[in-house]
């Protein structure tokens, strides 16, 4: 419960941050059954405290955890709040968040998305990691993920989902909560 609002951290329950890099620094993911049990407990607690529940917009799978269909379907028709943060600020945040990990693990994560990232982008990102220039590597990766997020936002709009864009100057969870 944040600021008198019910918030469920799906990534926390799944022990995965949701991207090709999502397992870095995380404990082993729970079984699907355990994920659903943890989610049910959170939902039960949230419903008892509030009529609204805040969830991060996730894909159907968070690592190997699968969001149950009934929740996924509700997420697909619920209003969406998009916090728009300048690219340089998000890049700095991601470099701080993921740049600390072993270079081989970073490269392995890049290879997971090689087909969708494209040959040249993959080659360049891997080379930048080898050169210890993780910021340049993550600039390539963030541009790739931004295209995916934009496509997802467009799909929400096409489906008539209420979209609220909110500008923020920095990556700050407390500020984001206030803006929402």
- In this prediction, residue 59 has a pLDDT band, given cuts at 50, 70 and 90, of confident
CA distance linking residue 56 with residue 74, whole number of Å:
13
Q: pLDDT digit string (tens) for 124-170?
A: 999 999 999 999 999 999 999 999 889 988 888 888 888 888 888 88
pLDDT of residue 2 exceeding 60: no
Nearest to 99 by CA among 8, 179, 15, 21: 21
Give the chain's mean pLDDT. Answer: 91
Per the CB < 8 A criterion, the answer to whether 39 and 4 are in contact is no
- Give residue 3's pLDDT: 63
Specify the pTM: 0.84
Rg (CA), the chain: 17
Distance CA 3, CA 173 (A): 12
Q: Three-state SS for 27?
A: coil
Longest Cα–Cα distance of the chain, Å, equals: 52
Question: What stretch of H or E contains 120?
Answer: helix 119-130
- Residue spans of the domains in the chain: they are 6-78, 83-171
Taking alpha carbons only, the member of 123, 130, 113, 99 closest to residue 59 is: 113
Lowest pLDDT segment from 2-6, 27-31, 48-52, 103-107: 2-6
Terminus-to-terminus CA distance in the chain, angstroms?
Answer: 14
pLDDT of residue 109: 96
The structure tokens listed for 40 are 């049910």
């Amino acid at each position: 419960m944040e600021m008198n609002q019910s918030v469920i951290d799906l990534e926390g329950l799944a022990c995965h941050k949701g991207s090709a890099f999502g397992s870095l620094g995380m404990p082993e993911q729970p079984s699907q059954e355990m994920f659903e049990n943890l989610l049910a407990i959170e939902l039960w607690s949230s419903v008892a405290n509030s009529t609204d529940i805040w969830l991060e917009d996730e894909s159907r799978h968070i690592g190997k955890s699968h969001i149950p269909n009934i929740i996924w379907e509700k997420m697909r028709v619920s209003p969406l709040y998009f916090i728009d943060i300048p690219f340089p600020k998000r890049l700095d945040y991601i470099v701080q968040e993921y740049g600390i990990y072993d270079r081989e693990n970073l490269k392995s994560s890049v290879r997971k998305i090689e087909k969708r990232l494209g040959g040249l982008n993959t080659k360049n990102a891997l080379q930048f990691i080898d050169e210890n220039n993780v910021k340049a590597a993550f600039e390539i990766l963030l541009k790739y993920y931004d295209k995916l997020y934009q496509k997802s936002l467009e799909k929400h709009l096409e489906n008539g989902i209420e979209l609220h864009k909110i500008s923020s100057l920095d990556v700050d969870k407390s500020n984001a909560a206030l803006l929402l």
